[in-house]
Amino acid sequence: MPDAVAEAQEQLKNLLKTTDDVLTKVAQRKVLSVLAFPEMRSRRDLVAETHAQTFSWIFYDQELKPYDESWDWEKERSGKRR
């Protein structure tokens, strides 16, 4: 009998987890549907396909220096630069 109870508890946990997952998906879809507007894909559809080498300079430009923590955009903007 204890095995049946444990199995029932496990099934209930799985059912509740599934319910939580479903509720999360429903909530996500609701938020996205509220944010959606008819023209939202038109800009993306108008943009030409990017060139294969777009932003490659970020990875291969020898002039770029490694990130230096002493210089930070947020600190610069907030006046907290070291």
- In the chain, where are the structural domains located? 7-35
Under 8 Å between Cβ of 81 and 72: yes
In sequence order, the 6+-apart residues with CB closer than 8 A to the CB of 80 are: 74
Q: What is the pLDDT along the chain (82 residues), one digit of tens a residue?
A: 678 888 888 888 888 888 888 888 889 999 999 999 888 888 778 888 877 777 777 777 666 666 655 556 666 666 654 4
How far apart CA 21 and CA 29 sit, in angstroms, is 12
Query: What pLDDT shows up at residue 32?
Result: 92
How far apart CA 79 and CA 82 sit, in angstroms, is 9
In the chain, the amino acid numbered 34 is V
The residue to which tokens 């429903």 are assigned: 26
